[in-house]
Amino acid sequence: MDFSNELPQKTMTFSKEIAQADQVSSMPSKLQIVYSWSKNKATISNAENPKDQQYIVDFRTLAVTSPPIIIKSAVDGSTVGTGKLHPISIDAKYEIRGRKGTLKAMKRLKTEYTYPSYALSENDKPVSLKWVDSCGFKSWDFICMDEQSMPVARISTNVFALKKAGIIEFMGPAASSPELRDELIVTGVTLWMFFFLLLALPLQDLGRVRWWKIRG
């Protein structure tokens, strides 16, 4: 029996599996956010190897016609997603790889934002993930949990940091899913910048109004 015709196909399949395994193994579980005040940009890199950049974030906070937050892959330069803050609503809009969504505020007395996740869905129906926060004097943590309230990501930020703004940690399925990591980066960074602007502009009437709408 001649198996020569099957060998190229099996070789291609095996090579694809190796490439996918290499991609998963190269995804660090912890990323560091380094923010540049002069450029109003941030790089998100491997926390253990800062030269291993994963994402580049451009904060165009004063933009009117374009999304104020643009997140690109540091590997191939493609646009991973965008985030857009609304001047009045406490919800935030985002887009991930062409799919639009909303970070929707669910609570008045505490921070809780939900968004539809397609990366964790087993069919075409999205599952609901939620971001909550934990505040301290110097730190501000944002934790994303699944429908069973299990954490899948955490963004730990230093409020007073001038450069090293924070750490992003992936847990559970996010540690090995590029699609889910993209979702968490776009939604998490959008939420982080939303609250960062509220803290940075404490004397602005609009900022105070939005803050009290969230906190009740």
How many whole angstroms separate alpha carbon 216 and alpha carbon 85? 20
Residue ranges covered by each domain of the chain? 86-215
How many whole angstroms separate alpha carbon 167 and alpha carbon 155? 6
Degrees to nearest 5, angle at CA 126 with 32 and 78: 45
Amino acid identity at 148: Q
45 sits in which H/E element: strand 41-46
Q: What is the pLDDT of residues 98-144, one digit of tens each?
A: 999 999 998 766 789 999 999 999 888 999 999 998 877 677 899 99
Res. 3: pLDDT tops 90: no
Q: What is the pLDDT of residues 24-66, one digit of tens each?
A: 446 899 999 999 888 889 999 999 999 999 999 998 865 555 5
Name the β-bridge partners of 82: 70, 95
Res. 16: pLDDT tops 50: no
How many whole angstroms separate alpha carbon 22 and alpha carbon 14? 12
CA 18 centroid distance within chain: 27
Q: Which of 27, 47, 21 minimizes the C-alpha distance to 178?
A: 27
Span 207-215, average pLDDT:
43
